[in-house]
Amino acid sequence: MESEAKWESVLGARYCRGSPLLYILSEKNKTLIWRQLWIWLAEAEKELGLTQVTEEAIIEMKNAKESIDWSELRAEERKLKHDVMAHNHVYGRLCPSAAGIIHLGATSCYVQDNADCIVIRDAVHYLLNRMAIVLSRIGDFAEKTKSEVTVGRTHYQAASLTTVGKRACIWAQDLLISFKELERFGSEQRFRGIKGATGTQDSFMTLFDGDEEKVERLDNLVTAKAGFTRRFAISGQTYTRQQDVLLVNALASFAAAAKKICMDIRVLQAMGELWEPFEESQIGSSAMPYKKNPMKSERVCSLARQLITLPQTALNTMAEQGLERTLDDSAVRRMMIAEGLLNTNAILLILQNIVEGLTVRSSNVSKHVQEEMPFLALEKALMYLCQDGVDRQKAHSIIRTTALEAKEKGNVSLEEMLSHSFYDEVRDRVFALASTPLVFAGRCVTQTDTFLANELLPSISPYLKKKDDEKVQLDV
Amino acid sequence: MESEAKWESVLGARYCRGSPLLYILSEKNKTLIWRQLWIWLAEAEKELGLTQVTEEAIIEMKNAKESIDWSELRAEERKLKHDVMAHNHVYGRLCPSAAGIIHLGATSCYVQDNADCIVIRDAVHYLLNRMAIVLSRIGDFAEKTKSEVTVGRTHYQAASLTTVGKRACIWAQDLLISFKELERFGSEQRFRGIKGATGTQDSFMTLFDGDEEKVERLDNLVTAKAGFTRRFAISGQTYTRQQDVLLVNALASFAAAAKKICMDIRVLQAMGELWEPFEESQIGSSAMPYKKNPMKSERVCSLARQLITLPQTALNTMAEQGLERTLDDSAVRRMMIAEGLLNTNAILLILQNIVEGLTVRSSNVSKHVQEEMPFLALEKALMYLCQDGVDRQKAHSIIRTTALEAKEKGNVSLEEMLSHSFYDEVRDRVFALASTPLVFAGRCVTQTDTFLANELLPSISPYLKKKDDEKVQLDV
Amino acid sequence: MESEAKWESVLGARYCRGSPLLYILSEKNKTLIWRQLWIWLAEAEKELGLTQVTEEAIIEMKNAKESIDWSELRAEERKLKHDVMAHNHVYGRLCPSAAGIIHLGATSCYVQDNADCIVIRDAVHYLLNRMAIVLSRIGDFAEKTKSEVTVGRTHYQAASLTTVGKRACIWAQDLLISFKELERFGSEQRFRGIKGATGTQDSFMTLFDGDEEKVERLDNLVTAKAGFTRRFAISGQTYTRQQDVLLVNALASFAAAAKKICMDIRVLQAMGELWEPFEESQIGSSAMPYKKNPMKSERVCSLARQLITLPQTALNTMAEQGLERTLDDSAVRRMMIAEGLLNTNAILLILQNIVEGLTVRSSNVSKHVQEEMPFLALEKALMYLCQDGVDRQKAHSIIRTTALEAKEKGNVSLEEMLSHSFYDEVRDRVFALASTPLVFAGRCVTQTDTFLANELLPSISPYLKKKDDEKVQLDV
Amino acid sequence: MESEAKWESVLGARYCRGSPLLYILSEKNKTLIWRQLWIWLAEAEKELGLTQVTEEAIIEMKNAKESIDWSELRAEERKLKHDVMAHNHVYGRLCPSAAGIIHLGATSCYVQDNADCIVIRDAVHYLLNRMAIVLSRIGDFAEKTKSEVTVGRTHYQAASLTTVGKRACIWAQDLLISFKELERFGSEQRFRGIKGATGTQDSFMTLFDGDEEKVERLDNLVTAKAGFTRRFAISGQTYTRQQDVLLVNALASFAAAAKKICMDIRVLQAMGELWEPFEESQIGSSAMPYKKNPMKSERVCSLARQLITLPQTALNTMAEQGLERTLDDSAVRRMMIAEGLLNTNAILLILQNIVEGLTVRSSNVSKHVQEEMPFLALEKALMYLCQDGVDRQKAHSIIRTTALEAKEKGNVSLEEMLSHSFYDEVRDRVFALASTPLVFAGRCVTQTDTFLANELLPSISPYLKKKDDEKVQLDV
């Protein structure tokens, strides 16, 4: 049957096409990691003196590692209703001298949880690299546009001037916070290790005749073989699902930041100030041929909306794990973790494509600055009046009246607005400024320079590599 | 590349294997419905006198309908970044005389939204049938166990007696509420119809030279061809996402009910009173061979946890649709609707399997009843004392002391408890009751009979068919 | 200590100041309803022949009903850690002849759950009335502006024309869906009634010597006295929390609709097309005196964001109620239900104030229509070309190029755009239309008329009363 | 009107009675902090040479700081619809020589956001202290019970033995993770500082005639006066709401941990192994006087369920802040932040009370251990058989059959189970162990010792003070 005749998740089929995460999160990769974990366990047990683990068994395991018969696996699981035992049996048949010692002393979570740790680590590593590239692109954009004055907007209404690049620093800072959260997750992530059925390591104590020190070494050995430096000291059957909460929180915070950025872009595109990239042959609307829609930014917002709900799943799963372990986590983690990582990947790809092709429509930007200038100049008037000792409340009140009357009337020039004698003392100073918009933008350039140099670049530069210059092309 | 080397959603790959929903929600089904919608539109336009739509074009469209070239479609979409236009172009190439009139007057949402309406309708219809079967199974179980007295539990602590079947009615009632919500969705669901790019039907007014009555008839004709009786009078570009909120709310309420039921089963299995089905070759634990775990009920709870979060996505998508339409809904609906329906399907399959094999462990049930009987008898003593005119608060207070002292001591008989002269007047009446547990269970039998006859059966019987006797087998 | 020195919820202290809901949801109202429920129970028990309930006791209960000593109540609860028993004891002291029969046969949930039913019913009734007023205001606005042509917006980009009033119908329809959900909740809400500790009615069976028919009548009698026509047939200790899910779902769907409306208003205010009311002395910004911010619409969006999360709480509470009842619901329902109702109230007040003062800035609206007219005319050209038999795809492609080139160039007239010979056959027809914007707005007027007459008014008119003409003034 | 006649949030009225947080989060504290911030601003501006700020003005401001007329404030806000300006005006009337310079150069968020930073910092500091006490109590409990062997439970079914104290370490570790998250928030929290209306610091540049260095110093001065070491380099009008996300994530993760712990306690109380404290005069049930319910643990679960939803609000608020600032955050932060902190406080109080009075019911604990011992011994048999070279899969399969047959039969002794010759080689070793349960508990004692010494105590000891020995009494 053609694969199109069966539902597929759009995360795989549309939004992450070609991503390495699809393999990292696959059944195949999981199977190989499970087998590798069994090999590491056997090796470590042998190293520590367990004679029932033979060199021959280990060699057999290594040789058979890549040989996977999917239909046999599925049949076995259908029979046993237990995926780890199914894999165990099938692998055992492939390496008969190891059959008796595969999984020796272990409980299912030895392979399940530790493999999850490895998969998550590798996926997070990949995502951090991509996130650094996106941050680097936003940094470039900010650097390029740090002096381009634009109307600031609060409440989506014109407000004191800012610059395009300074605004991009707000975006970068929000993303950077999520990047650092995810980076911290990566550096603090703990391996589950060797813990046994209820976390007491009892089966290993039996194997090693009550030698605690050997069990401790076993735990350390396997942790090191798997490439981890930290492991949990305490566990039930699984590592604590708090660790999943920390992961998902970082992803959701990223989603929130991405959604804020892309909503900003959409509003600015509606105002004609910014264009997300629109491709040569792209069609905006099937009915309205003249349309140029910010569909990429909209897609990010749409994907982010789902990702933002994941902490609910993670927190409730954590809260509902009973005693040494209930299976409350099983099915939901198979969805939550993979989909959280993939959704993050999807958003990053689109976001990178957007930022790489972001166009400032400078003529509109400066037109809007000119339109708002008289009102912005009034803000300067307020400051000067205060400097001259006029009561701030009183000044605020008169300026407010001047401004609202002008708004009502429409198209009133600065000259007209300041014609009242109340402004006599400050009028000249205000006029002098009104021709230099950048003066109205405060410390935007310095803020941008400082932020890029002191915060952004030091954080991402360890992640950037040569080939990261490639631009993202989107499939759909 | 083997499909196992690429991530697949477990909803398709594990929990809904073989479900008809996988086809209903597939790209293929969507493509066929889009083409059918184009055919219906052309037919209706022709019927209403549009001469540019020829009989030949319609015949060509019908003949080409099933011929789908997926790689051509994907290439086209990669170019246009617009899935409806990609399909439009590819279909047009298949039927050259229709190419000029496919989609005539329509906007993308004509096919997208209306196809979603059809897919959702068909999926809901399937789920209602499955839900009715599950309700029928719970009804059978309740009927069979309505007189089996068991310890009621509040706060997970022993409380006044109830019966196993009456407790099952609580489950059935909760599910029935969700069933009726979903049924109501099905019967009130509205078609989006013929609305144009911003919902004004303007393009159709142009096509029909301003003849409003013809446009109204066009809308009605296509709605009827698609098998709907209700359609929206008002829309922007899409049907209002409130309709999605109603759907997802019904599914989430079902998930909550299923989770409550399965958590009850898990607690009762922990207390040794109930067993979910455990299959011949099933393995409970890879480390602890003696284990019999309620893994099916746990899986339902796990899946339900995710489904319960979906209203967040639906509500926020509704709230964030701007003006006549933004694309905030697009990517997220592709995930939310399909996954909500599939997750519901997955839970229903497991739930049915559980209820079909649910075993009451009667010896434990009655042992627990006997252990609690002395305390329950005290509750009767409270009633008799009040009947005899003893102050209720005073009686409550003395009985509380008697009971808590006995709990502290452990293993105290009813005789001992009632030895104090305070109980002289009621002692005999209480002893008389203590041998007939069913007397302590109030109106459980009548409540069960009444509920099954008056509420459950009338609601589900229209959905039950002969073949619904088949039992569910689970794959994993 | 001044009350400002202690945290108060802003729902009470700011956003619902003066609302009748504050009393309906108060401790005092709850206390009076509990006592009334005890009176109704005593009356009904007496009517059905329970001789221990005397006329004197009932009279005492009625006389003492309004006399509440709060500090005594708090001290009693501190001692007992059980609020119903505390109230029971205190009320008993006030009416000594009733002390022995207050709460006779009942469990705490008799007063707690049934009082919640009453409070929710009264609050929902109040909210439905307010919601009807808001809908009526939007209806008035739609009627008034149904012919005012405006640029439709999809993706926040200019799209085919619509009218201001038609757009308001989209808002009204979304709200109306929530209104009908809440109305349905109100009409289908069930009373918990007389059920006993685990829902078996056992204690009442004991009181009435096993006479099932009397217990059934008791349940019916109290239900009728409380003014309900429907009650649950099946319950554990509490009514099923599915009923709370239905309530909260309706409120959250309302919040989503309100948020969509207010986000639309904010975007339109940013585009200068619409103004929410701005009061004479209102200050827009402390720093920027010229600001006119849509702060009311923003507040609605902010409040709605919280309300939208409530279904998570309701669904999880439903899912986690164990067996005949756990206390999982207690604290969270005290927050969720009150805050959900109050938040709805707060949003309704602001929304009414907004709609009552909504100003269309017609000059800007028509200016934007003129700016987009050339592009909209191209859409007509597409239709005419298709009518004349030009291939739709080909026409779409040429028009797309014409339009995007004009967008790039800026300020291109319709004449210029249609100068190419491709448009020869349709040019005149397109020019003829371009001067009559309403022609571009399709069936907006009819759609509005039909929706108001057939859907909106019939739904809300039963709720509207004379005094509902009063406008809302906001405190903060 | 009595305060009981008006709705009050139960967080203030019931669950946090007497907590210092009620003052920290009050209007009064906010007002005083706003005024203090205005004083710091004036002082710093004066220090840096702004001559319009006089010593006299600052003295007046300091003298008037504590004088608050609430009704004047409310009237002013009703007029202006702007709370900061209302406070500004009222404060200005109290100190006429300062009226003109209060808020000089600032925007509302100067006081609002910075005050929020201070309030949050103080509240977090208080909560960290309380959380450390709870952790210390759990640590004491773990130390005391680290050798008390108990049946481990996976899937709520008996599993390999563990100890009561080791299990408490699972609880402590989960809480500790949240504690460290909150601690990190506290140490990394940034002040908003001096940023102006759109974050450009433009108004201050005007005040200081374009002297960037002075503006930088002003920002640093006020930050230091407020007691912060870190401040944001980049902001729009407000500090980024990512910081709120980090706060709320830490609180929600705490709620999840608390819920897990209390659900464990409830299940263990249902099994008779653990009792939460039950007070002398406490009433379990109004209908069932013999009841001893874990109502405190249930209340924690109930409160936590609400707290767990807060990240939705925080994330969406972050995502929906538009450009330099929209008011999307205003109303919802007034609820979310205060209620998140209070709910955390409420849970901590109850949790401390629970842990302080937690009773292990040792007789039941060891009875359950004895009942499971035969099955646990089979797990040892599995290990010994593997050690002796028997194939693990084969051994697992035979033992599984032995165990499930015994479960089915009930009450089978270890002797009977091991009677088959398959066990000949290991029977004696297994019997030898079966009399020493602690041997079955693996490394529980060492794990507990290590965790307490290396992870728990070093983390909390900086927070513990003498007076922290006081026990918590609950009011309701």
DSSP output for A297-345: HHHHHHHHHHHTTHHHHHHHHHHH--TTB-GGGHHHHHHHHHHHHHHHH
Looking at chain C, which subunits does it touch, using at least 3 CB pairs closer than 8 Å as the criterion?
Answer: A, B, D
Is the predicted pLDDT of residue C282 greater than 90, yes or no?
no
| pLDDT (average), residues C89-93 | 95
Give CA angle at D358 (D353, D359), nearest 5°.
155
- Give the model confidence (pLDDT) of A38-97 as tens digits: 999 999 999 999 999 999 999 999 999 999 999 999 999 988 888 999 999 999 999 999
* Out of B283, B293, B404, closest to residue D157 by CB: B293
**H or E stretch at A157:** strand A157-163
- D197–chain A Cβ distance below 8 A for any pair: yes
d(CA B191, CA C73): 57
> Does the distance separating the beta carbons of D159 and B291 come in below 8 Å?
yes
Residue B410 and residue D367 in contact, taking contact as beta carbons nearer than 8 Å: no
Nearest chain B residue (CA) to A105: B287
Neighbouring CB atoms inside 10 A of A201's CB total 28
DSSP letter string over A245-267?
A: HHHHHHHHHHHHHHHHHHHHHHH
Neighbouring CB atoms inside 10 A of D10's CB total 22
Residue C178 and residue C257 in contact, taking contact as beta carbons nearer than 8 Å: yes
* Out of C289, C293, C312, closest to residue A396 by CB: C289
Q: Of the listed D155, D281, D286, D435, which one is catalytic?
A: D155
Exposure on the CB side of residue A439, measured as CA atoms within 13 A: 18
Q: Of the listed A9, A67, A187, A285, which one is catalytic?
A: A285
| pLDDT (average), residues B139-151 | 97
Residues 6 or more apart whose Cβ sits within 8 Å of residue D439? A210, D433
Residues 6 or more apart whose Cβ sits within 8 Å of residue C8? D8, D9, D12, D26, D27
Band (A402; pLDDT cuts 50, 70, 90): confident
- A287–chain C Cβ distance below 8 A for any pair: yes
Exposure on the CB side of residue D97, measured as CA atoms within 13 A: 13
- Give the model confidence (pLDDT) of D251-277 as tens digits: 999 999 999 999 999 999 999 999 999
- C84–chain D Cβ distance below 8 A for any pair: yes
At C127, give phi and psi (nearest 5°): -65, -35
**H or E stretch at B163:** strand B157-163
DSSP letter string over A378-421?
A: HHHHHHHHHHTT--HHHHHHHHHHHHHHHHHH-S--HHHHTTSG
As beta bridge partners, residue D325 has: A154
Band (C274; pLDDT cuts 50, 70, 90): very high
State which amino acid sits at residue C386: C
Specify whether D285 is catalytic: yes
Answer with the residue of higher pLDDT: D174 or D209: D174
d(CA D209, CA B25): 65
d(CA C224, CA C222): 5
Band (B1; pLDDT cuts 50, 70, 90): low
Per-residue confidence (pLDDT) for residue A1, from 0 to 100: 60
> Does the distance separating the beta carbons of B52 and C154 come in below 8 Å?
no
- Just list the catalytic residues of C: 155, 285
Of D142, D151, A94, B311, give the one whose Cα is nearest residue C310.
Answer: B311
Specify whether D253 is catalytic: no
**H or E stretch at C265:** helix C242-270
Is the predicted pLDDT of residue D332 greater than 80, yes or no?
yes
Do β-strands A157-163 and A149-154 pair in parallel, antiparallel, or remain unpaired?
Answer: antiparallel
d(CA A327, CA A317): 10
- C22–chain B Cβ distance below 8 A for any pair: no
d(CA C16, CA B35): 53
> Does the distance separating the beta carbons of D28 and C2 come in below 8 Å?
yes
Residues 225..284 of A with a Cβ closer than 8 Å to B: which?
Answer: 266, 279, 281-284
Residues 6 or more apart whose Cβ sits within 8 Å of residue B120? B189, B247, B337, B341
Q: Is B359 helix (H, G, I), strand (E, B) or coil?
A: strand
d(CA A333, CA C467): 55
d(CA A13, CA A7): 10
* Rounded percentage of chain C residues whose pLDDT exceeds 70: 98
> Does the distance separating the beta carbons of C298 and A155 come in below 8 Å?
yes
| pLDDT (average), residues B116-133 | 98
DSSP letter string over B232-283?
A: -S--SSS--THHHHHHHHHHHHHHHHHHHHHHHHHHHHHTTSEE----TT--
> Does the distance separating the beta carbons of B313 and A68 come in below 8 Å?
no
C276-312 burial code (b ≥16 CB/10 A, e <16): bbbeeebbbbbbbbbbbbbbbbbbbbbbbbbbbbbbb
- Give the model confidence (pLDDT) of C157-177 as tens digits: 999 999 999 999 999 999 999
d(CA C68, CA C35): 11
Residue B244 and residue B333 in contact, taking contact as beta carbons nearer than 8 Å: yes
d(CA A153, CA A162): 9
d(CA C15, CA D178): 33
Q: Which residues of D touch B379 (CB under 8 A)?
A: 287-290
Q: Of the listed D9, D187, D285, D397, which one is catalytic?
A: D285
d(CA D242, CA C49): 66
> Does the distance separating the beta carbons of A294 and C156 come in below 8 Å?
yes
At B196, give phi and psi (nearest 5°): 80, 180
Neighbouring CB atoms inside 10 A of B207's CB total 24
Q: Which value does ipTM take for this structure?
A: 0.95
Distance from chain centroid for Cα B35:
30
Of D263, D268, D244, give the one whose Cα is nearest residue D304.
Answer: D263
| pLDDT (average), residues D309-320 | 98
Residue where the block lists tokens 């399969």: D397
> Does the distance separating the beta carbons of D169 and A384 come in below 8 Å?
no
* Out of D289, D298, D396, closest to residue B400 by CB: D289
D74 exposed, middle or buried (CB, 10 Å; 0-12, 13-18, 19+)? middle
Per-residue confidence (pLDDT) for residue B98, from 0 to 100: 95
What 8-state DSSP symbol labels residue C14? I
The helix-helix angle for A330-356 and A242-270 (nearest 10°) equals 30
Residues 394..423 of D with a Cβ closer than 8 Å to B: which?
Answer: 396-397, 399-400, 403-404, 406-407, 410
What 8-state DSSP symbol labels residue C360? E
d(CA D385, CA C107): 57
Residue A262 and residue D273 in contact, taking contact as beta carbons nearer than 8 Å: no
Q: Which two tokens stand for residue A130?
A: 């991509």
At B443, give phi and psi (nearest 5°): -100, 30
Domains and their CATH numbers in chain B: 109-199+226-278+287-360 (1.20.200.10), 364-441 (no CATH)
What average pLDDT does the structure give for chain B? 93
**H-only helix segments in D388-471:** 392-409, 414-417, 427-434, 444-451, 457-460
d(CA D89, CA C97): 60
Q: Which two tokens stand for residue A152?
A: 């600031």
Q: Which residues of A touch B13 (CB under 8 A)?
A: 27
The torsion angle over the Cα atoms of residues A385, A388, A390 and A395, rounded to 10 degrees, is 0
Out of A215-219, A230-234, D279-283, pick the least confident.
D279-283
Q: What helix, strand, coil percent values describe chain C, rounded to 5? A: 65, 5, 30
| pLDDT (average), residues D376-388 | 83
As beta bridge partners, residue B162 has: B150
Is the predicted pLDDT of residue B467 greater than 80, yes or no?
no
Q: Which residues of A touch C271 (CB under 8 A)?
A: 270-271
Band (A259; pLDDT cuts 50, 70, 90): very high
| pLDDT (average), residues D79-91 | 92
- Give the model confidence (pLDDT) of B189-244 as tens digits: 999 999 999 999 999 998 999 999 999 999 999 999 999 999 999 999 999 999 99
At D276, give phi and psi (nearest 5°): -75, 160
DSSP letter string over C214-263?
A: HHHHHHHHHHHHTT-S-B-S--SSS--THHHHHHHHHHHHHHHHHHHHHH
Residues 317..376 of B with a Cβ closer than 8 Å to C: which?
Answer: 318-327
Of B350, B356, B265, B266, give the one whose Cα is nearest residue B307.
Answer: B350
Is the predicted pLDDT of residue A239 greater than 70, yes or no?
yes
The helix-helix angle for C295-307 and C330-356 (nearest 10°) equals 160
> Does the distance separating the beta carbons of A282 and B334 come in below 8 Å?
no
